[in-house]
Structure 1
Amino acid sequence: MRTADRRIALGLYRTGPTRHLLEGALEQGVTDLDTAFNYHHFASHRALAAIADDLLAVFTISTKVGYFPDGHDLDPARLRVAVERSAEELGRTPDTVLLHNPESSVDGFATACATLLEMREAGLCRNWGLSTWDPRPLLDADWEIPRPDVAMVRAGLTVSAGILSAVDELVDRARIAELWGMAPFAGNADDSIWQTVDTSTFLASGQQCSPLQAGVAAAFAIPEVTRLAVGTSRVEHLAEAVDGSRLEVNTETVTVYRALLRERATVSAGAPSRKDQ
């Protein structure tokens, strides 16, 4: 995958949107926003519109539905209301709507997928898909679904062999058109481990970068994704991530790394299993 095909998205899971942050994102060429119906106590969409309604048309916005004040639910009627309310609160139609952690309600997965497809065809979103933290429970169920436009999964050096293998299987089984990544640093890019692990070993030689930049580059390759959601409240951090997306990855190193992960998982479990680590 060419570096020109990679995009950084500003993730708003832990980050409350500010005008300064959104303007800074645009200055860095970041035009993707990732949010959800339930973020920030179900107020993320309203907050975005309140501080930057004049900017939202410039962004490509992905949001997620599936969580409600009383818990997780993939009931079609509730999903439809959540998508309609999301558009109303944003003041525009979201570009992509994702099922939020469908592994939490596996029994309703296939019906929910069909519902989001219907919403796309009705013009309530341009694309539909799913966002999964751990797809392994989905693979234990019997389902057939329409082809999702996109799936968002965990990416980077903190992802276990079991989840990476499950992502590969999900992509094949659901015939997913495009794969996005999230949580490249497991939610903590300031953890001291990123200063002690030499992430530059995953890069093609001759490139100078920070550990964060190398970690971002690796996340685009583990697994291979075209967009990576990065959560931050600092424009400087976002700019560093953008620079990381432009670095070339050593594909041979990535291949060896994934093989070692699988081998270690097999040894730890005693036999191949989706439930490793």
Structure 2
Amino acid sequence: MRTADRRIALGLYRTGHTRHLLEGALELGVTDLDTAFNYHQFASHRTLAAIAGDLLSAFTISTKVGYFPDGHDLDPARLRAAVEQSAIELGRTPDTVLLHNPESSVADLANACAALLEMREAGFCKSWGISSWDPRSLLEASWEIPRPDVAMVRAGLMVSAGILTALDELVDRIQITEMWGMAPFAGDAADPIWQTVDTSTFLASGQHGNALQAGVAAAFAIPEVTRLAVGTSHVDHLTEVVEGSRLEVNSETVTAYRKLLHERATVRAGAPSWKDR
């Protein structure tokens, strides 16, 4: 994948909604925003419109629906209402609407996907898809859904072999053609592990970057995604992320890493439990 094919999205989960941050993102060339109906205590869309309504036309906006004040619900009527409300509160239609963690209500998946497809056809968004933290349960159910335009999944060195394998199967099953990534540092880029693991191992020869930047580059390849949502409230951190997205990775190293990850998971799965010992 060429670096020109990669995009960084400013993820607004646990991220301060400030005009300063949005202006800084645009100055860095970050023109993708990722939010959700339930982010910022169900006020993300309204807050964005209030603090930077004049800037929103410069962004490609993705949002998610599926969580409500009373919990997770994939009822088609509630989803349609949430999509309509999202457009009203933003003051514009979102570019992409994603089904938020459909693995939490697998039995309702087919009808929920059909509802988002209807909303796309009705002009309430330009594309639709699914956003899954752990897709393994999606593969356990028997369902048929319309092919989504995009799938947003976990990416990076903290993603387990089981999830990566499930993603491969999901892509084949529903013919996903565009993959986006999220949470490249599992929600905490300040975790000491990022200072102890030599992430530069994944960089191509001649490429140089700090641990965070190399981790971002690796996340675009594990699994292969075209867009990576990263949450931060600081422009300097976002600057590092953008610089990391421009680094090339060693594809052979990535392949070897995934193979070792799979082999290790296989060995663990085949190990006797304490009851068998």
Is the TM value for this pair above 0.5? Answer: yes
1:21 aligns with 2:7: no
- Unpaired runs of at least 5, structure 1: 272-277
Deviation at 1:105, TM superposition (A): 0.3
Matching residue of 1:75: 75
Matching residue of 1:233: 233
Counterpart of 2:187 in 1: which secondary structure? coil
In 2: Cα distance, 1:121 partner to 1:159 partner: 34
Counterpart of 1:225 in 2: which secondary structure? coil
Matching residue of 1:274: none
Q: Is the 8 A contact 1:106 1:141 kept in 2?
A: yes
Matched to 1:262, the amino acid is H
Task: Flag as ranges the 4+ runs of structure 1 deviating above 4 A.
Answer: none
Deviation at 1:263, TM superposition (A): 0.4
In 2: Cα distance, 1:40 partner to 1:21 partner: 15
- Unpaired runs of at least 5, structure 2: 272-277
1:211 aligns with 2:219: no
Matched to 1:188, the amino acid is D
In 2: Cα distance, 1:265 partner to 1:149 partner: 31
Mapping 1:26-41, distance limit 5 Å? 26-41=26-41
Instruction: State the Cα deviation string for residues 33-85 of structure 1 (Å, max 9, x = none).
Output: 00000001100001100100000000000000000011100000000000000
In 2: Cα distance, 1:51 partner to 1:40 partner: 14
Matched to 2:112, the amino acid is A
1:159 aligns with 2:159: yes
Q: Is the 8 A contact 1:147 1:177 kept in 2?
A: no
Q: Is the 8 A contact 1:11 1:34 kept in 2?
A: yes
Instruction: State the Cα deviation string for residues 238-275 of structure 1 (Å, max 9, x = none).
Output: 1111110110100000000000000000111118xxxx
Counterpart of 1:45 in 2: which secondary structure? helix
1:143 aligns with 2:137: no
In 2: Cα distance, 1:217 partner to 1:108 partner: 35
Matched to 2:167, the amino acid is V
Matching residue of 1:248: 248
Matching residue of 1:57: 57
Matching residue of 1:188: 188
In 1: Cα distance, 2:207 partner to 2:100 partner: 37
Matching residue of 1:118: 118
Deviation at 1:166, TM superposition (A): 0.5
1:262 aligns with 2:237: no
Matched to 1:38, the amino acid is N
In 2: Cα distance, 1:182 partner to 1:32 partner: 13
In 1: Cα distance, 2:21 partner to 2:134 partner: 30
1:93 aligns with 2:113: no
RMSD (Å) for aligned C-alpha atoms = 0.7
Counterpart of 1:243 in 2: which secondary structure? helix
In 2: Cα distance, 1:177 partner to 1:253 partner: 24
Matched to 1:113, the amino acid is C
How many residues align? The count is 271
Q: Is the 8 A contact 1:8 1:32 kept in 2?
A: yes
TM-score norm. by structure 2 comes to 0.97
Report percent identity of matched pairs: 83
Instruction: State the Cα deviation string for residues 154-200 of structure 1 (Å, max 9, x = none).
Output: 00000000000001111111111200000000000011111110000
In 2: Cα distance, 1:254 partner to 1:208 partner: 17
